[in-house]
């Protein structure tokens, strides 16, 4: 229920104005003002979620994907999260270099530690796949 601000009578709050004196229903108007705020918040969240991550972070993710392809048993790979989350360093030519550590099964099924030095370069357009420049196994 709404209370009229002018004549103080009660009426259903679905009315846009008081049925007794035609004063505007401020409660209803207030609700309409509040609706766009959550919508704007959702748009903002969607925008942030859709935005590409920083290139220093993407580089390590792409490196992990490229290194995985070289392994005997890619499914067994467990990348050290600290090395994956470490921002890659940017090179003068625009590529990024990072050092990744992982544990993966070797050809004999034994889990072994490995470290790779990996350089990748971003695509020229946003969301384009990155390219492998150089990957070398340190150990
Ligand atoms: Zn009224």
Note the pTM of the prediction, 2 decimals: 0.61
Mean confidence (pLDDT) of the chain: 87
pLDDT tens figures, 78-95: 999 999 988 999 999 999
Which residues, by Cβ under 5 Å, contact ligand 1, an ion? 4, 6-7, 18, 20-21, 23
Distance CA 117, CA 130 (A): 16
CB within 8 Å of 138: residues ≥ 6 apart: 99, 114, 115, 116, 117
- Kindly give the distance from the C-alpha atom of residue 1 to the centroid of ligand 1, in angstroms, as a whole number: 13
- pLDDT tens string 48-58: 666 667 888 88
Q: How far is the CA of 32 from the centre of ligand 1 (A)?
A: 20
User: What residue spans define the domains of the chain?
Assistant: 2-50, 55-137
- Comparing 54 with 100, the larger pLDDT belongs to 100
Quote the ligand 1 centre to 28 CA distance (angstroms).
Answer: 14
């Amino acid at each position: 229920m709404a209370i009229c601000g002018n004549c103080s009578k009660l009426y259903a709050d679905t009315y846009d104005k008081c049925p007794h004196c035609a004063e505007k229903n401020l409660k209803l108007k207030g609700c309409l003002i509040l609706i766009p705020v959550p919508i704007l918040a959702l748009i903002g969240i969607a925008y942030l979620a859709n935005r590409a991550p920083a290139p220093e972070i993407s580089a390590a993710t792409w490196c992990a994907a490229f290194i995985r392809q070289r392994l005997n048993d890619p499914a067994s790979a467990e990348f050290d999260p600290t090395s994956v989350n470490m921002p890659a360093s940017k090179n003068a030519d625009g590529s990024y270099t990072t050092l990744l550590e992982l544990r993966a099964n070797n050809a004999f099924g034994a889990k072994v530690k490995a470290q790779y030095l990996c350089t990748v370069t971003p695509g020229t357009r946003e969301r384009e796949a990155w390219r492998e420049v150089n990957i070398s196994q340190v150990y």
